[in-house]
Amino acid sequence: MPTTEDLARAEALIRTIPDYPEPGVLFRDITPLLADAEGLRCVIDAMIEPFHGQFDVVAGIEARGFLLAAAVAMVADVGLVPIRKAGKLPRPAAAVDYALEYGTATIEAHDDIASGTRVLLVDDVLATGGTLQAAHELVPAIGGVVVATSVLMELPALGGRALVPDAFAVFTA
């Protein structure tokens, strides 16, 4: 497990960009963290550690969740299942709609895993929780069993934990 000092250094690499993509929003820019090999390895190890040996595959949620999920899968020596926005997959096997602030969105996945496969859900941020809650519905529809959810960062003020109470977050902002 990474040390407290390692995690503090990694967290300091995450920039807060005010008023992006719209006024009043504080965007968490993880690209400086992704560019730093030591910081990236630290957070990937932290995302895996509580669930080591408990999952067979990682499911990463588009788009920034893909980046983290791919690294988690490589370090954990397991496969990767992409969870995509609607219309991005050539043969979606399952789809789940979820609510946005203004409207709805849909996520989809292929059914490339065996029934009963233990799945670690990975995303970058737990905000309102809608996307992760939808992923919790989607994984069983393709035969998997969600065993845990791991995110880089939780934004508690947005209330996502109410929808995804089992989520593990490396950082809280």
Cα separation, 41 vs 7, whole angstroms? 10
Six token digits for residue 143: 């035969």
Q: Are 81 and 113 in contact (CB under 8 A)?
A: yes
62 catalytic per annotation: no
Give the strands of the sheet with 94-100, arranged side by side. 94-100, 103-109, 79-85, 57-61, 118-126, 145-154, 168-172
Q: What are phi and psi of 112, to 5 degrees?
A: -95, 15
Q: Which of 5, 22, 91, 101 is catalytic?
A: 101
* Cα(145)–Cα(63) distance, integer angstroms: 22
Catalytically annotated residue among 64, 118, 137, 161 = 64
Is 28 a catalytic site residue? Answer: no
- Known catalytic residues are 64, 101
